[in-house]
């Protein structure tokens, strides 16, 4: 197996991008990544494209071929990866394996979603497909409802409060104010969160990530030749994925995501690092409770301890551990097919020292954590700066 590096990154602004279609968003992020990697279109050997529901959102299936076409990659393989909200992380893992195996040298991995061309009801229905359609969605549960069940159980078992949930949103919005690509660049308070409209008790509007448009692209290459293209390659030192039951009712516990725990343990082992070695992490905060669960399941805090730690400020920028410096899904936005790739872009910027206004001091090791559905899929990557 060869060592793999990220040699190029590209990102669009996330948000309600009424003025751009899906192909324009893909092209914008793709051109930035190719330029950053100092490659030509003829250098690319395969493309992996991630999107969860492009057919439902914009009527466009066969997205990977469109991505290759828009970026001028003629006649090379193009593969779409769909794994619910973990589509981006899963696509990155496929690209990683393609390079690590020796099958391909230059690989482009892109994620995109154009979600605002349909009504909120239609978007909610499309996103609901990430859960168990027959036994959950058709019975009336919504996606916020599934995470609300997790939140209520966490509150019951560990005394987690609504104020502690709200502190996740406050921290991530604060980080988003420093990110030019973020959807929401306005700070909020705990009281703002508590006063926002109830969605599924105890989760309110400001506890939930938004419907977003956006795209993100990375370029991968073998580490041994990476500096031929870029002076600051970022090595992917671990890429792990695990799964669990699709339906929440079949889980052993409502207060953990087992797929995250398994992926994280394997990633730490393969990277030769511990949770305490991580300087910056992008976790999947589709709802505020999701970040609390992630911080515990990734091994940063004992079960039941993360909510208080976040409330006390331990995960703010340049505190004990910098978490969701991009603003996360909550502040930066959540175009579902792009999110896992955006996380990798953010960590690459942090490890390069290029995250202007939100730079983590001395960041050398970073992590991404991308979840599909209510936890049926989890993908974890650990990345390291190359000295």
**CATH architecture for segment(s) 4-119+212-234:** 3-Layer(aba) Sandwich (3.40)
Task: Give the pairing type, strands 4-11 and 213-222.
Answer: antiparallel
Collapse the DSSP code of 280 into the 3-class scheme (helix H, G, I; strand E, B; otherwise coil) and give the result.
Answer: strand
Same fold, 4-119+212-234 and 135-209+235-385: yes
The whole-number pLDDT of residue 251 equals: 93
Q: How far apart are CA 40 and CA 34, in angstroms?
A: 7
* β-strand partners of 287: 208
Q: How far apart are CA 154 and CA 268, in angstroms?
A: 26
The whole-number pLDDT of residue 94 equals: 98
Counting beta carbons within 10 angstroms of the beta carbon of residue 59, is it exposed (0 to 12), middle (13 to 18) or buried (19 or more)? Answer: exposed
- Give me the tens of pLDDT residue by residue for the chain, a chain 387 residues long: 999 999 999 999 999 999 999 999 999 999 999 999 999 989 999 999 999 989 999 999 999 999 999 899 989 999 999 999 999 999 999 999 999 999 999 999 999 999 999 888 888 888 888 888 888 888 888 889 999 999 999 999 999 999 999 999 999 999 999 999 999 999 999 999 999 999 999 999 999 999 999 999 999 999 999 999 999 999 999 999 999 999 999 999 999 999 999 999 999 999 999 999 999 999 999 999 999 999 999 999 999 999 999 999 999 999 999 999 999 999 999 999 999 999 999 999 999 999 999 999 999 999 999 999 999 999 999 999 997
Q: What positions carry a catalytic annotation?
A: 85, 334
CB contact at 8 A, 324 and 178: no
Collapse the DSSP code of 57 into the 3-class scheme (helix H, G, I; strand E, B; otherwise coil) and give the result.
Answer: helix
Q: How far is CA 344 from the centre of its chain?
A: 8
- Measuring CA to CA, how many Å separate 220 from each of 33, 77, 334? 10, 15, 23
Task: Give the pairing type, strands 4-11 and 234-243.
Answer: antiparallel
Q: Identify each DSSP E strand in the chain by its residue range.
A: 4-11, 46-50, 78-81, 107-114, 198-200, 203-204, 213-222, 234-243, 280-282, 322-323, 365-372, 377-385
Q: How far apart are CA 86 and CA 99, in angstroms?
A: 20
Q: Which superfamily, per CATH, for 135-209+235-385?
A: Thiolase/Chalcone synthase (3.40.47.10)
Q: What element of type H or E holds 373?
A: none
Question: What's the start-to-end Cα distance of the chain, in Å?
Answer: 21
Task: Give the pairing type, strands 198-200 and 203-204.
Answer: antiparallel
Percent composition of the chain: helix, strand, coil (DSSP 3-state, to 5)? 40, 20, 40
CB contact at 8 A, 332 and 181: yes
The whole-number pLDDT of residue 121 equals: 85
The domain segmentation of the chain, as residue ranges, is 4-119+212-234, 135-209+235-385
Q: How far apart are CA 324 and CA 104, in angstroms?
A: 31
């Amino acid at each position: 197996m060869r060592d793999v590096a990220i040699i190029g990154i590209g990102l669009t602004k996330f948000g309600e991008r009424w003025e751009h279609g899906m192909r324009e968003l893909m092209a914008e992020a793709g051109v930035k990544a190719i330029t950053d990697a100092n490659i030509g279109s003829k250098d690319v050997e395969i493309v992996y494209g991630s999107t969860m529901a492009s057919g439902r959102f914009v009527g466009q299936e066969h997205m990977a071929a469109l991505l290759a076409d828009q970026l001028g990659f003629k006649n090379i393989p193009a593969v779409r990866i769909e794994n619910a909200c973990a589509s981006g992380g899963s696509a990155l893992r496929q690209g990683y394996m393609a390079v690590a195996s020796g099958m391909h040298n230059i690989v482009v991995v892109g994620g995109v979603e154009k979600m605002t061309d349909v009504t909120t009801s239609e978007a909610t229905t499309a996103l609901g497909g990430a859960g168990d359609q027959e036994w959950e969605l058709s019975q009336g549960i919504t996606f916020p409802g599934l995470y609300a069940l997790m939140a209520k159980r966490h509150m019951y078992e560990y005394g987690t409060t609504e104020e502690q949930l709200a502190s996740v949103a406050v921290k991530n919005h604060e980080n988003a104010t420093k990110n030019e690509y973020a959807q929401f660049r306005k700070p909020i308070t705990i009281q703002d969160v508590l006063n926002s409209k109830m969605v599924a008790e105890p989760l309110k509007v400001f506890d939930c990530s938004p419907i977003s448009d956006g795209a993100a692209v990375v370029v991968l290459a073998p580490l041994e030749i990476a500096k031929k293209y870029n002076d600051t390659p970022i090595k992917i030192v671990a890429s792990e994925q695990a799964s669990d039951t699709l339906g929440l009712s079949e889980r052993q516990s409502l207060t953990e995501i087992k797929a995250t725990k398994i992926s994280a343990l394997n990633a730490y082992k393969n990277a030769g690092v511990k949770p305490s070695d991580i300087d910056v992490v992008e976790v999947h905060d589709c709802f505020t409770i999701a970040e609390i669960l992630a911080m515990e399941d990734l091994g940063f805090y004992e079960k039941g301890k993360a909510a208080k730690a976040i409330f006390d400020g331990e995960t703010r920028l340049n505190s004990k551990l910098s978490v969701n410096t991009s603003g996360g899904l909550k502040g930066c936005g959540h175009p579902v097919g792009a999110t896992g790739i955006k996380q990798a872009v953010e960590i690459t910027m942090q490890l390069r020292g290029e995250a202007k206004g939100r730079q983590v001091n001395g960041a050398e090791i970073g992590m991404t954590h991308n979840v599909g559905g209510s936890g049926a899929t989890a993908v974890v990557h650990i990345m390291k700066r190359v000295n």
